[in-house]
Amino acid sequence: MTEHTPDPLPREWLPQPVGPAHQVDEALWEARLQRLTAAAEPALARLRAPAISWWSVLAAWWRPMVSAAALGTAAAALALLLHLPPPPRGTAKPPAGTATLSVVVGDGQPAALWVGLGAQADPALALIALQRGER
């Protein structure tokens, strides 16, 4: 820089300093420092606390006793499943007056109504079906 540096502006025109030039206000700086250190304490406490990661939690859980208990529970559940009686097959006739699935699927078709509900569906319909030999 070969150019001459301009003189500073008159001091009274400049904003008030906040730093070294105001050494007299030590109490203010001390108060600021105390406020800061108090606000920082929770973050410092977090830094002091040991870090907890997901794998450390997993490692703590995966201990022999815990794994043995988990294996035992799994084996008991499997044995219970194997020894349960199989569910009954759906061959029994539905109780009288119950609409069967075929009626629902038939969506009102006369033949489906007849097959599903028989004479209860409609006497006239029953007659037609009998005449056609559908039952």
Partner 1 sequence: MSENDAGEARDGEGRQPPDAWLAQRVQAGESAAFEELARRYLRPVYAVVGSLLRERADVEDAAQETFLRALDHIRTFDASRPFAPWLYTIARNTARNRRKAASRHRSEPVGSVVVAGDDPDPEQRTEQAEIRSLVATALDELPDQQRTAFRMFDIEDYSAQEIATLMGINAGTVRAHVHHARRALRERLGPLLGPGADQ
In the complex, the smallest distance separating the C-beta of residue 80 from partner 1, rounded to whole angstroms, is 50
Helices vs strands, H then E, count in the chain: 6, 0
Q: Of the two residues 6 and 87, which places its CB atom closer to partner 1 in the complex?
A: 6
Q: How many residues does the chain have?
A: 135
Candidate ranges 12-20, 67-75, 106-114, 123-131; the one touching partner 1 (CB under 8 A): 12-20
How open is the CA angle 56-53-65, to the nearest 5 degrees?
Answer: 20
Q: Of the two residues 7 and 107, which places its CB atom closer to partner 1 in the complex?
A: 7
Q: Are 114 and 91 in contact (CB under 8 A)?
A: no
In the complex, the smallest distance separating the C-beta of residue 12 from partner 1, rounded to whole angstroms, is 6
In the complex, the smallest distance separating the C-beta of residue 53 from partner 1, rounded to whole angstroms, is 14
- Candidates 33, 57, 71, 104; binder of partner 1 (CB under 8 A) is 33
